[in-house]
């Protein structure tokens, strides 16, 4: 550090602080995509109350299958009535946008815009402040999964899968298609993004690894029969559950299965997407259980019986897990041992995963309400 002034050292230390901070995970105030970040790990730093209270509920009038997202103190939720709702953190309606069909995919909030698709296969770009439509892009079949994004230089690309078998890459600014990659069946979930690659499963049973700049296939790995959810990615590993009840770790560089777990007696589907934190990976199954595995060797650490089928993807917040089931029970569990800390009975099926922002939990339910929990 010879020749560097005291003020210069302070600037360097400040830079290193923000560099480290930016690499530790998703900002606790922004859950801008349905699994919290581009790698779809379903995890966030921060804390939530051990015994949160219901702060408010907002009625949409129709079932909510879309996972809400939160950023810039705005909540975006889609409803099966085809309407996109923007709420503030007190549950006040700021704007609404009526789309052409039912909305089951979750939104992406990015650079003061909202991106989401509907069952007509239309991807919309809306202004976050006003809800005005900026552009629309049409796929040839329905969109079920969330949009993800990738930035290269000054260009931002959007990645979204469709039941038309294609993963679409669209320019975020203009809505113009850049490329389309064809899989062999429906694409249900979102594509995880890491190291310039998009990773996703679908009804063809393969994990596809696609180069985002070119749209070309890097690798295709046979993992299952039918993948309904999304994968979580870390380094060269991906974790994914399938419809036949298998849960797998995949080495995306080698194209091999690292480990695979299945209950040989039950064999019920993993429709939920996995959540990843530290050495644990957590998911939910139709057999009513939340499972926690060692992400490295696949050893089952614990399981928790929720009392009903699980389709909502669990979310990890610090040392806590938020989980829900199809009976309408919302849980907070301890990550280390699965011990139940809190339970709230909404009484209406929860299909979509919660969003977490500034110690508040936002969740949609089949009764058509967006609910917010906190202190």
Q: Which domain holds residue 338?
A: 41-374
pLDDT digits 0-9 by tens, 326-365: 999 999 999 999 999 999 999 999 999 999 999 999 999 9
pLDDT digits 0-9 by tens, 133-178: 999 999 999 999 999 999 999 999 999 999 999 999 999 999 999 9
pLDDT digits 0-9 by tens, 185-215: 999 999 999 999 999 999 999 999 999 999 9
Give the model's pLDDT for residue 117.
98
Reduced to 3 states (helix: H, G, I; strand: E, B; else coil), residue 241 is strand
Q: Is residue 186 part of a domain?
A: yes
pLDDT value at 317 more than 80: yes
Residue % of the chain over a pLDDT of 90:
89
Cβ atoms of 57 and 369 closer than 8 Å = yes
CATH of the domain at 152: 2.130.10.10
What does the block give as tokens for 355?
């969003």
Q: Is residue 3 part of a domain?
A: no
Query: Average pLDDT of the chain?
Result: 92
Which of these, 193, 275, 201, 183, lies nearest to 243 by C-alpha position?
201
Q: Is residue 24 part of a domain?
A: no
Give the model's pLDDT for residue 22.
35
Q: Is residue 106 part of a domain?
A: yes
Q: Is residue 1 part of a domain?
A: no
The predicted model scores a pTM of: 0.91
Q: Which residues contact 193 (CB under 8 A, 6 or more apart)?
A: 38, 39, 148, 149, 150, 159, 199, 212
Q: Is residue 83 part of a domain?
A: yes
Query: Largest alpha-carbon pair distance within the chain?
Result: 69
Q: What's the rounded mean pLDDT across residues 219-245?
A: 93
Confidence of residue 2 (pLDDT cuts 50, 70, 90): very low
> Quick one: how far is CA 289 from the chain centroid?
20
Give the model's pLDDT for residue 28.
60
Instruction: Give the chain's domain count.
Output: 1
Q: Is residue 231 part of a domain?
A: yes
């Amino acid at each position: 550090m010879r020749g560097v002034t005291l003020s210069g050292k302070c600037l360097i230390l400040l830079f290193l602080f923000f560099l480290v901070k930016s690499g530790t995970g998703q900002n606790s105030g922004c859950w801008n995509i349905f699994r919290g970040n581009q790698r779809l790990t379903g995890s966030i730093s921060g804390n939530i109350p051990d015994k949160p209270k219901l702060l408010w509920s907002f009625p949409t009038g129709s079932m909510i299958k879309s996972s809400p997202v939160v950023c810039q103190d705005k909540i975006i939720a889609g409803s099966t009535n085809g309407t996109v709702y923007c709420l503030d953190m007190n549950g006040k309606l700021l704007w609404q946008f009526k789309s052409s069909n039912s909305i089951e995919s979750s939104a992406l909030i990015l650079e003061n815009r909202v991106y989401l698709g509907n069952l007509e296969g239309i991807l919309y770009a809306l202004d976050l402040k006003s809800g005005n439509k900026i552009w629309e892009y049409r796929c040839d079949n329905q969109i079920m999964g969330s949009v993800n994004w990738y930035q290269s230089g000054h260009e931002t690309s959007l990645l979204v899968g469709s039941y038309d078998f294609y993963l679409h890459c669209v320019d975020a600014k203009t809505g113009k298609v850049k490329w389309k990659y064809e899989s062999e069946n429906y694409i249900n979930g979102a594509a995880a993004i890491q190291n310039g690659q998009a990773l996703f499963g679908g009804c063809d049973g393969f994990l596809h690894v696609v180069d985002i700049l070119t749209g070309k296939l890097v690798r295709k790995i046979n993992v299952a029969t039918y993948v309904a959810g999304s994968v979580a990615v870390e380094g060269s590993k991906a974790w994914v559950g399938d419809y036949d009840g298998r849960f797998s770790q995949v080495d995306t560089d080698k194209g091999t299965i690292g480990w695979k777990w299945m209950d040989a007696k039950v064999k019920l589907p993993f429709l939920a997407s996995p959540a990843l934190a530290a050495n644990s990976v957590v998911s939910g199954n139709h057999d009513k259980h939340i499972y926690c595995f060692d992400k490295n060797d696949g050893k089952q650490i614990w399981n928790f019986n929720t009392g009903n089928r699980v389709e909502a993807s669990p979310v990890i917040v610090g040392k806590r897990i938020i989980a829900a089931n199809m009976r309408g029970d919302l849980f907070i569990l301890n990550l280390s041992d699965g011990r139940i800390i809190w339970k709230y009975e909404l009484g209406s099926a929860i299909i979509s995963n919660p969003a977490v922002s500034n110690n508040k939990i936002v969740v949609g339910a089949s009764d058509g309400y967006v609910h917010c929990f906190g202190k």
